Amino acid sequence: MKILIIAQYFPPDITAAAFRMFDTARLLEDTGHEVRVITAHPHRSQVDGDSAARYDGQISGVWRTPVAHLNGGGFSDYVKHYVSFMIGSSWLGLRQRLTGWRPDVIWASSPPLFVGCTGVALSRLSRCPLVLDVRDLWPASAVGAGQLSAQGRACRIGERMEQYVYDRAAHITCVARPMRDYIRARARTGVTVVYNGARASDVRTGPAEGNGSQNGPTLLYAGNLGRAQQLDLLIRAWANVRGRNGHDRWTMKLLGTGAVEKELKELASSLRVGDSVVFMPPVSRQEAMCEMARADALSVSLQPDKAFEKTIPSKVFDCMAVGRPVLAGVAGEGREILESTGANVCYRPGDQGDLERSLTLLMRDYQRLRLMAYRNPEVIRNGYTRERAVATLTRVFNSVVSNGHSVPMIENLANVEFADSTYSSQSRHSGIADAVVCQAPRKRRNVHIHKSVVQ
């Protein structure tokens, strides 16, 4: 099958969406499909020395278009940024169509929702079905992150765009059950949950290892330092809890960069916890997974909002995959998955008092939680790997290609659940598997086509 993926984010950009698209493309090719990707030139945080060529060479064809810089990051800058990709990606799709290459199916990943508009245009041009991928609800998630006003004109336009793309998709994939239910109420076609998941190679096995630091336990957050992650709340809670009841040996590390990095550093300094809150620069995904496995506990959070309750932060799967206890400020299905193992501590997003109580519990009961944390990777291995996700996605593609442009609800796909995806106390697995082996990426086979187009 010839598959065209349209995604604004792709490695070496360091985003969860970029790595999800890359993993999916590689796994689809490993199962015999021809995959081509239309994406942007690198424009998000990258690791020094990393390059687009390293990733593009592992896919049959990757075409990149430049995008407008965000500059100050205001609303108009974001619109220009997104529209520039929509125009550039549409042009690249047109050029490929003129060469005679025609996909059997298009998978366009949103947000930004403008990517869906490109997908609509190219699906009509290529006369093939469009499968829309929804990672976050837009514009609802933009409202939740404080980027748009719920009563503003931009939000109303975004809602019309959302409905426009939903109405023209042959099928829709999304990343959580509550999100599926939301889209089902608005879409005319089938909706299938394709979880973010973690790579099977990242799911930890092996003997137990010692603590990541000889100087005391560490709590690590790895990811975007943005407003939606509400890390200021974590630092404030840390300042109030760390010195209590002999917990002053703990260190917190924040690995990554983002819009509020400077503000977070200033906050840590003003609260006089700069000595126990360490900021680390972005690293490669492989190095980040190793850092997560070396930590004693991990943190993931989102600010409280109805839109965020309908998704599952991709970090939930990564954190559970390495077999460490997780301190999580998430709601909805993500919280259900975390609580299913008994190895993690969850708090209400945005509630500093609940966060302080949960952080105290994590520090006090760490040894017990650590012994139970082997259950975390078992849950991922049994139901939430990228390999399982791609198998589900392939079934979706096969269905839309065989049924044509208009595909009705596909209940056996839309209701895909894994009965063994939650931990059972009767599990036959009893060993503690909280170790990690940080290996170099496996060698890839030579690919037959490689292009990177600079416009």
* pLDDT tens-place string over residues 125-158: 999 999 999 999 888 777 776 777 778 888 888 8
Detail the DSSP E strand segments found in 26-184. Answer: 34-40, 61-65, 105-110, 130-134, 171-174
- How far, in Å, CA of 99 to CA of 237, rounded? 58
The percent helix, strand, coil of the chain (3-state, each to 5) is 40, 15, 45
Q: Where are the alpha helices (DSSP H) in 101-151?
A: 114-126, 140-144
Q: In terms of CATH architecture, what is 2-197+385-414?
A: 3-Layer(aba) Sandwich (3.40)
Instruction: Name the more confident of 6 and 445.
Output: 6
- Say if residue 441 is exposed, middle or buried (CB neighbours under 10 Å; 0-12, 13-18, 19+): exposed
The domains of the chain are located at: 2-197+385-414, 201-379
According to the model, what pLDDT value does residue 359 have? 97
Instruction: Name the more confident of 123 and 418.
Output: 123
Instruction: Name the more confident of 51 and 194.
Output: 194
Least confident piece of the model among 222-231, 296-305, 427-436: 427-436
Judge if the upstream peptide bond of residue 178 is cis by omega within 30 degrees of 0: no
* pLDDT tens-place string over residues 83-123: 999 999 999 999 999 999 999 999 999 999 999 999 999 99
Return the SS3 of 434: coil
Residue 52 above 90 pLDDT? no
Q: What is the mean pLDDT of residues 53-62?
A: 85
Length of the chain: 455
| Bridging pattern class, strands 105-110 and 345-346 | unpaired
* pLDDT tens-place string over residues 201-260: 999 875 445 554 567 899 999 999 998 899 999 999 999 998 787 788 999 999 999 889
pTM of this prediction?
Answer: 0.84
According to the model, what pLDDT value does residue 428 have? 28
Tell me the pLDDT band of 426, cut-offs 50, 70 and 90: very low
Tell me the pLDDT band of 410, cut-offs 50, 70 and 90: very low
| Residues with Cβ within 8 Å of residue 284, at least 6 apart in sequence | 47, 50
For residues 204, 205, 209, 213, the Cα torsion angle rounded to the nearest 10 degrees is -10
Q: Which two tokens stand for residue 149?
A: 């006003």
| Residues with Cβ within 8 Å of residue 220, at least 6 apart in sequence | 212, 252, 253, 255, 291, 292, 295, 297, 298, 299
Residue 390's Cα: distance from chain center in Å? Answer: 15
According to the model, what pLDDT value does residue 99 have? 93
Least confident piece of the model among 69-73, 262-266, 288-292: 69-73
Fold of 201-379: Rossmann fold (3.40.50)
